[in-house]
């Protein structure tokens, strides 16, 4: 009898361990920010492209933050920052230009960046670099919210 109880206990334990836990709640969209990209992505690749933009913007912000912490930063001018964005987009998007596929995206993001950062290619201060990071975080948030 005790052997049967042990076997049943083992089976019950295995069954219990294989049961899915409580479902993880779906993350709520972040509150609206300064940039709204809802409707800026169109077509059958809209959701994928929005996810790419969100990931790329987050990665760019991470790169700028990391570069600031190095002994010899390379992102010290507006030109260097623009080259980082351009080359990263080429690598991440396999050469595609999402702004051509989604002109409203290009317009909104371009207007946002020009308004917040200007378009000076010269030297940037640590304060300006922080603004670049904040802007890319905002693009990341807006693109992520655009696909919800």
Cα separation, 71 vs 73, whole angstroms: 6
Note whether residue 129 is domain-resident.
Answer: yes
Report if residue 141 sits inside a domain: yes
Across 2-16, 49-63, 93-107, 119-133, least confident range: 2-16
Range of the domain at 141: 47-148
Dump pLDDT digits (tens) for 14-50: 655 556 655 545 445 555 689 999 999 999 999 999 9
Residue corresponding to tokens 């083992």? 10
Q: What is the pLDDT of residue 90?
A: 87
Split at pLDDT 50, 70, 90, the class of 93 is confident
The total number of structural domains in the chain stands at: 1
Euclidean distance between CA atoms 64 and 142, whole angstroms = 19
Q: Is residue 63 part of a domain?
A: yes
pLDDT (mean) for 55-64: 96
**Mean pLDDT for the stretch of residues 56-73:** 96
What pLDDT was estimated at residue 31?
58
Structural domain contains residue 17: no
Note whether residue 138 is domain-resident: yes
**In this structure, is residue 58 part of a structural domain?**
yes
Residue 53 belongs to some domain of the structure: yes
């Amino acid at each position: 009898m005790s052997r049967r109880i042990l076997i049943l206990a083992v089976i019950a334990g295995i069954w219990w361990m294989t049961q899915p836990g409580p479902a993880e709640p779906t993350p709520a969209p972040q509150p609206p920010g300064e940039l709204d990209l809802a409707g800026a992505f169109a077509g059958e690749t809209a959701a994928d492209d929005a996810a790419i933009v969100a990931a790329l913007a987050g990665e760019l912000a991470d790169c700028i933050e990391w570069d600031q912490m190095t002994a010899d930063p390379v992102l010290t001018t507006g030109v260097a920052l623009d080259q980082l964005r351009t080359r990263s987009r080429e690598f991440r998007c396999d050469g595609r230009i999402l702004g051509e596929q989604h002109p409203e995206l290009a317009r909104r993001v371009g207007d946002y960046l020009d308004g917040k950062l200007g378009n000076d290619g010269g030297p940037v201060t640590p304060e300006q670099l922080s603004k670049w990071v904040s802007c890319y975080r905002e693009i990341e948030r807006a693109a992520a919210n655009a696909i919800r």
